[in-house]
Amino acid sequence: MSRIDMATVAPDGFRAVLGLEKHCRQALPQELYEIVKLRASIVNGCSYCTDMHSRDAIAAGIPVAKLFGVAAWHESPHFDAAQRAALRLTDSVTRLGEDGVPDEVWDEAAAHYDASMLGELVLAIATINVWNRFAISTRKEPEA
């Protein structure tokens, strides 16, 4: 059972995160945006966001096999080199340790995306991590 509704108890902050979400949705190609959001949600163990982003991706026409592959993207044949670099960056930013994002992870992403797109990717990864933390800490449940 959900503990609180963030939109109700912290409406200004919630709207600010919605603003980030809107920006990210417009700044990245839709398929890349959806797989990054799904991957971070899987890594964080956020059932609400994993469910929601899976449904959003299916509605956007992303093949279900590709979505299933997000959980094991290292071995999945459904991703090109640029998407793999974005997923590796997603894992690294989401699991941010005391040493930060390793140079080899950043350099791989930089080989596929220019500085502007890298910035947008980091912003999208950070934003989905905020949503995951909202949903996990408040125990938000997937819709039936």
What CATH number is associated with residue 122?
1.20.1290.10
In 3D space, the residue among 57, 53, 71 whose CA is nearest the CA of residue 131 turns out to be: 53
- In this prediction the pTM is 0.94
Percentage of the chain beyond pLDDT 70 is 100
Model pLDDT for residues 91-142, shown as the tens digit of each residue: 999 999 899 999 999 999 999 999 999 999 999 999 999 999 999 999 998 8
CA distance 91 to 85: 10
Residue 143 lies in a domain: no
Residue 3 lies in a domain: no
Model pLDDT for residues 27-55, shown as the tens digit of each residue: 999 999 999 999 999 999 999 999 999 99
CA distance 75 to 78: 9
Residue 32 lies in a domain: yes
How many structural domains does the chain have? Answer: 1
Residue 46 lies in a domain: yes
Residue 72 lies in a domain: yes
pLDDT score for 73: 96
Range of the domain at 122: 11-138
How buried is residue 111: exposed, middle or buried, by Cβ count under 10 Å (0-12/13-18/19+)? Answer: exposed
Residue 59 lies in a domain: yes
- Residue 34 CA from chain centroid, whole number: 7
Residue 86 lies in a domain: yes
Torsion, Cα of 46, 79, 123, 45 (10° steps): 10
CA distance 124 to 29: 11
Model pLDDT for residues 72-99, shown as the tens digit of each residue: 999 999 999 999 999 999 999 999 989 9
Residue 144 lies in a domain: no
